[in-house]
Amino acid sequence: MTTIGEMSEDALIALFAPRLPSTDVEVLGPGDDAAIISIDGDLVVSSDVLIEGRHFKLGWSTAADVGWRAAIQNIADIDAMGAVATALQVTLAAPSETPVDWVLGFADGLREACEPLGVGVVGGDLSSATEIAISVTALGETHGTAPVTRADAVAGQVIAVSGMLGAGKAGYEQLAAGVRVDEATVALFLRPNPRIGAGLEAALYGAVALMDLSDGLVRDAGRIAKASEVGMALDSASLPVHPGVAVAAQALGGDATQWALTGGEDHHMLAVFPTESAVPEGWSVVGVTTDDHEGVRVDGAEPTDQGWDHFLR
Amino acid sequence: MTTIGEMSEDALIALFAPRLPSTDVEVLGPGDDAAIISIDGDLVVSSDVLIEGRHFKLGWSTAADVGWRAAIQNIADIDAMGAVATALQVTLAAPSETPVDWVLGFADGLREACEPLGVGVVGGDLSSATEIAISVTALGETHGTAPVTRADAVAGQVIAVSGMLGAGKAGYEQLAAGVRVDEATVALFLRPNPRIGAGLEAALYGAVALMDLSDGLVRDAGRIAKASEVGMALDSASLPVHPGVAVAAQALGGDATQWALTGGEDHHMLAVFPTESAVPEGWSVVGVTTDDHEGVRVDGAEPTDQGWDHFLR
């Protein structure tokens, strides 16, 4: 088994780069000081870090799973502006004893996530490190719609989500407990699979606030509440909970509703629409905006569990 | 001393973001799912990683030094296409015991490097990690000139560099030996200070190949040789060696010329011009391109020391 410490950086890049997805917007791809891509209108850009042991575990995720997650969660951030992702920059730092096959598998996962969406990996950097640290910057453009921020919701509007909640949390809890009762949610934890394009759809339907669910509904709704200076009143009975969540929660003594409220990493869209009739088909209304209170309330009460924070643990 | 582990991510971002430089091209800055910047023409994009203990040492560099380096080496990559950097995305992963002051000092260094150049930090991500891992993606645009790659040199042209070589290496060797005989090169190792704009200048003067010197003249010249399929014949007597290099090399028993040939991280521009008369004032001619041989020769011989590789050590 060859490790990356046995290869030069140039040799590793020569193996790695051909596995990466390309894109129509690429003017100049990897290999020079910088890549060049064509941009139609304004550039939409977002970055996320994934650290071994914190954002993924090598014992749980294959290299391709990690590549998939790194790509999708960043592409979801571009979708969450109502924009369209076209290219990624990817940096990978890894211990010199990392197998070359791991690095190539990581590239495969990037490609599997990106290729169906027409997104290319246009550049990046490889380095040695003590632990695996990945950083992805997603680049996109607006397609005829104004970007949708988190800041323009007002009271009396409708809160909706674009997919079923809690799957990531249910998958995580099963892996953490070593108990597997629902493979679908385990698979969705390892490879989050939000419908990319739901954000653009929300923008086209007139959404006034939009973000993707990375840190859980309660915490993320709180961010719209803060940015828009509006109350977010969530109705737990109306949450679209992934069916596997109840199975896993029952087996593990958890609370399915609580997991759907606070579980992170589903990456579905959370949007505020002006009226209920503006909500696109397939989305679920989960509450309303209000000026009765600040921040987030669930069934009228302040939530005790906020969900995920990357530093406080 | 407050550490980042004692703060929420949102609270840390609230302290960090106001210290970052802004830019005229910013349409929407940090705080939403993605940032938005206006781009004039094609987008030029480059990313680099900096890992604690590999690309910088906490005992040598202040947090602001690290921020400076992270910004400048990426801005130099954009300059090395003959393009103009306008914005950075910055991700920082750090141990929870990292002082908040270190993170804020890092932001100060980013600002000190970027502000005079009109470059803004428009977004990024913060995370916990075992070691400090920084990834910067620089974004820029071409200003009326075609991008200059590494691939268009032919035999019979002139190789030139835009600044004095070896300073980074001389500074590194002094810090490594604990012997400080030349403060200027130590300062340049800690805060590389290439003339940003030299790359655009080269493009305007008709350079046919261009890159920045990050891994040393010999290794980087080899990259142009490979991309352009041309020989690079360097003349060691003509190298513009930083005056502090001789001082440091003498004190440490090193070879100043060798340091100038192989020392990395100066980030000056390396360019191939069609003729000697095309070389801008202030640049130094260091060799010629040739079809007499492949790769790089120094004074007619194959170099024994290639310089820096991030994996092979």
Q: What is the pLDDT of residue B310?
A: 47
Domain that holds residue A121: 9-141
Residues B138 and B164 in one domain: no
A151 in a domain, yes or no? no
How many CA atoms does the CB half-sphere of B98 hold within 13 Å? 27
Percent of chain A with pLDDT over 70: 98
Residues B167 and B43 in one domain: no
For B240, residues 6+ apart whose C-beta sits below 8 A from its C-beta are: B161, B163, B164, B165, B284, B286
Q: Which residue of B has its CA nearest to A44?
A: B36
For B106, residues 6+ apart whose C-beta sits below 8 A from its C-beta are: B63, B64, B66, B67, B70, B92, B134
Amino acid letter at A224?
I
**Once rounded to an integer, what is the mean pLDDT over residues B273-291?**
97
**Once rounded to an integer, what is the mean pLDDT over residues B88-115?**
96
> pLDDT higher for A307 or A22?
A22
Asked if A78 and B34 come within 8 Å (Cβ–Cβ), the reply is yes
SS3 (DSSP) at A103: helix
Asked if A311 and B4 come within 8 Å (Cβ–Cβ), the reply is yes
Stated as kind and residue range, the H or E segment containing A14 is: helix A9-16
Q: Which residue of B has its CA nearest to A123?
A: B46
Asked if A311 and B149 come within 8 Å (Cβ–Cβ), the reply is no
CB contacts of A4 in chain B (<8 Å) are 311
Which of B242, B142, B309, B192 has the alpha carbon at shortest distance from A34?
B142
Residue that the structure tokens 């109306």 belong to? A238
Residues A180 and A278 in one domain: yes
pLDDT surpasses 80 at A306:
no
Residues A128 and A245 in one domain: no
Residues A241 and A288 in one domain: yes
Residues A43 and A167 in one domain: no
- Where a domain ends, among A94, A116, A141? A141
Across chain A, mean pLDDT equals: 94
B112/chain A closest Cα distance in angstroms? 22
**Once rounded to an integer, what is the mean pLDDT over residues B143-155?**
91
Asked if B125 and A131 come within 8 Å (Cβ–Cβ), the reply is no
pLDDT band at A311 (very low <50, low <70, confident <90, very high): very low
Q: Which residue of B has its CA nearest to A80?
A: B33
- Report the C-alpha gap between A202 and B230 in whole angstroms: 53
- Determine which of A135-144, A296-305, B26-35, B103-112 has the lowest per-residue pLDDT on average: B26-35
Which of B158, B121, B165 has the alpha carbon at shortest distance from B139?
B121
**For A105-160, what is each residue's pLDDT tens digit?**
999 999 999 999 999 999 999 999 999 999 999 999 987 788 999 999 999 999 99
A152 in a domain, yes or no? no
Q: Which residue of B has its CA nearest to A85?
A: B34
Asked if A38 and B42 come within 8 Å (Cβ–Cβ), the reply is yes
Which of B9, B35, B150 is nearest residue A311 as measured by Cβ atoms?
Answer: B9
Residues B61 and B96 in one domain: yes
Q: What is the pLDDT of residue B308?
A: 54
Asked if B139 and A28 come within 8 Å (Cβ–Cβ), the reply is no
B247/chain A closest Cα distance in angstroms? 32
Residues B25 and B121 in one domain: yes
A260 in a domain, yes or no? yes
A151/chain B closest Cα distance in angstroms? 9
Q: What is the dihedral of CA B273, B274, B276, B280, to 10 degrees?
A: -40
CB contacts of B125 in chain A (<8 Å) are 47-49, 135
Asked if B80 and A124 come within 8 Å (Cβ–Cβ), the reply is no
B212 in a domain, yes or no? yes
Across chain B, mean pLDDT equals: 93
**For A49-94, what is each residue's pLDDT tens digit?**
999 999 999 999 999 999 999 999 999 999 999 999 999 999 999 9
A92 in a domain, yes or no? yes
CATH number for position A166: 3.90.650.10
CB contacts of B43 in chain A (<8 Å) are 36-39, 43, 139
Which of B7, B131, B227 is nearest residue A130 as measured by Cβ atoms?
Answer: B131
CB contacts of B139 in chain A (<8 Å) are 43, 45
Residues B87 and B8 in one domain: yes
Q: What is the pLDDT of residue A30?
A: 80
Stated as kind and residue range, the H or E segment containing B12 is: helix B9-16
B177 in a domain, yes or no? yes
The count of domains in chain B is 2
Asked if B34 and A42 come within 8 Å (Cβ–Cβ), the reply is no
Burial class (CB in 10 A: 0-12, 13-18, 19+), A55: buried
**For A270-286, what is each residue's pLDDT tens digit?**
999 999 999 999 999 99
B309 in a domain, yes or no? no
Residue B281 CA to chain centroid, in angstroms?
22
Q: What is the pLDDT of residue A308?
A: 54
Q: What is the pLDDT of residue A153?
A: 98
Residue of B91, B135, B270 for testing the chain A interface, max A β-carbons within 10 Å: B135
pLDDT surpasses 50 at A310:
no
- Where a domain ends, among A93, A112, A141? A141
**Once rounded to an integer, what is the mean pLDDT over residues B268-284?**
97
**Once rounded to an integer, what is the mean pLDDT over residues A243-256?**
97
Residues B275 and B171 in one domain: yes
- Report the C-alpha gap between A67 and A191 in whole angstroms: 9
pTM reported for the whole predicted model: 0.92
Which of B224, B204, B230 has the alpha carbon at shortest distance from B212?
B224
Q: What is the pLDDT of residue B30?
A: 80
Residues B37 and B92 in one domain: yes
CATH number for position A117: 3.30.1330.10
Asked if A38 and B34 come within 8 Å (Cβ–Cβ), the reply is no
Residue that the structure tokens 């005992």 belong to? B59
Q: What is the pLDDT of residue A93?
A: 96
Residues B89 and B164 in one domain: no
Which of B12, B38, B49 is nearest residue A93 as measured by Cβ atoms?
Answer: B49
Asked if B32 and A211 come within 8 Å (Cβ–Cβ), the reply is yes
- Where a domain ends, among B107, B142, B177? B142
Asked if A129 and B51 come within 8 Å (Cβ–Cβ), the reply is yes
- Report the C-alpha gap between B230 and B296 in whole angstroms: 9
pLDDT surpasses 70 at B307:
no
Asked if B44 and A36 come within 8 Å (Cβ–Cβ), the reply is yes
